[in-house]
Amino acid sequence: MSIQLTDIAKHFGHTGKGHKGKGSPGQAGGRALEPVNLKIADGELVGLLGPSGSGKTTLLRIIAGLESPDRDPAGRILFGDRDVTDVHVRDRRIGFVFQHYALFRHMTVFDNVAFGLTVLPRRERPSSGEIRARVHRLLEMVQLERFAGRYPAQLSGGQQQRVSLARALALRPDVLLLDEPFGALDAKVRQELRRWLRQLHDELGFTSLFVTHDQEEALELSDRVAVMSHGRIEQIDTPDALYRTPANRFVFEFLGDVNHLEGEVRGGTLTCGEATLAVDLPDGHQELLLRPHEVRLAEAPTPEAQLPVTVTAISPVGAEVRIEVAADWLVEPWLATIRHADYERLALTRGQRLYAIPRHWHRFSAEDTPQRQAITA
């Protein structure tokens, strides 16, 4: 089931046309959503990513029917060819998974999953045998069939969230919406559940939209990611395109760690204290942005880059080694990610003096136009 939003806007805490919602403290009396336009294809999994207050949860709740959009402009929400803008939440055929599992603690796992089916109107309710078969199939899919007789308190957080997802899928919704579904779980469990949800989504082919503030989660799980800020979608694209070709500075800085280099350019050389870097930029004050993987560490400078630094922290856990470096010419420490082989070759220790050699840098003009330059060093 495809989803199409046209001119969906939302104010909180105001009078006049449209729904008057409570909102969050930061939203009271202000605009939570600028007019948003968004298309989600049938079977697509899209992540809504942004900081707190960016409007992502408000947008999700409007799609669900838990909030009403403003009437000026008169926006529309389509599920396929069906206009659901004014359709009640119970008639939108959506499944909703919350951050906090909202399971009935006095019910078994089986009864929690079956609950939505058992309270359907009689004409729509499957037979008891059909309900039993559907619930067992769902529990098998979420790998909890042997826990059917247990109560939520007897399950781990990850298991409870899988029960919550099975319950949402029991009604065979056209659209599955997830609001920070893994936010209450520890990092290892989150990673396992992300992988499991992606596999389940690919198997069943349902259309999903999920909210997160975790960049890694959004980039790993989504077909496309919509990055939001101040009630606007700044950019929607594939994870790879977002990371490699951000539309503006906000998207660049929000997706991962960023190193900043500010200085004065004269005759093709940027100078910041004792640091110098050859750049193809006009004279004047300039600010460059660099990803950690775009910074190489070396024992000697190059003709193009002379940026002396001191190692202040080392984290060798993971596929790469994260190195924090500081210098008198830096306002904040830089982060560099290097291969384990380079870490061993350099025999890095805290307090060691090295040189940072940028491989690439990025710059955003006053008009927020991105520029990227490679350095042949």
pLDDT in tens, the chain (377 residues): 899 999 999 988 744 444 444 444 344 457 889 999 999 999 999 999 999 889 999 999 999 999 999 987 789 999 999 999 999 988 888 888 887 777 889 999 999 999 988 988 888 899 999 999 999 988 988 888 899 999 999 998 888 888 988 888 888 888 889 888 777 677 777 777 788 888 888 888 889 999 988 888 888 899 999 999 999 999 999 999 998 889 999 999 999 899 999 999 999 999 999 999 999 999 999 999 999 999 999 999 999 999 999 999 999 988 899 999 999 999 999 999 999 999 999 999 999 999 999 999 999 876 666 777 666 54
Evaluate the CA torsion angle 243, 244, 247, 249 in order and state its sign. positive
pLDDT score, position 233: 95
Burial of 215 (0-12, 13-18, 19+ CB in 10 A): buried
* 251-44-208-36 Cα dihedral, nearest 10 degrees: 50
C-alpha distances (whole Å) from 201 to each of 92, 159, 175, 221, 236 are: 20, 17, 11, 10, 20
pTM as predicted? 0.81
Q: Contact 142/166 with Cβ under 8 angstroms?
A: yes
β-partners of residue 276 are 271, 306
Angle between helix 128-141 and 157-170 (nearest 10):
140
pLDDT of residue 365: 78
Domains of the chain: which residue ranges? Answer: 3-246, 257-374
257-374: CATH number: 2.40.50.100
Tokens of 102: 């909202």
* Cis ω before 73 (30° cut-off from 0): yes
Q: How many CA atoms lie within 13 A of 79 on its CB side?
A: 22
| pLDDT, position 205 | 84
Which is it for strands 295-298 and 353-358: parallel, antiparallel or unpaired? antiparallel
* CATH topology for the 3-246 domain: Rossmann fold (3.40.50)
Model pLDDT, residue 44:
95
Name the DSSP letter for residue 258.
Answer: -
DSSP string, 199-231: HHHHHH--EEEEEES-HHHHHHH-SEEEEEETT
Per-residue confidence (pLDDT) for residue 17, from 0 to 100: 42
Tell me whether domains 3-246 and 257-374 share a fold.
no
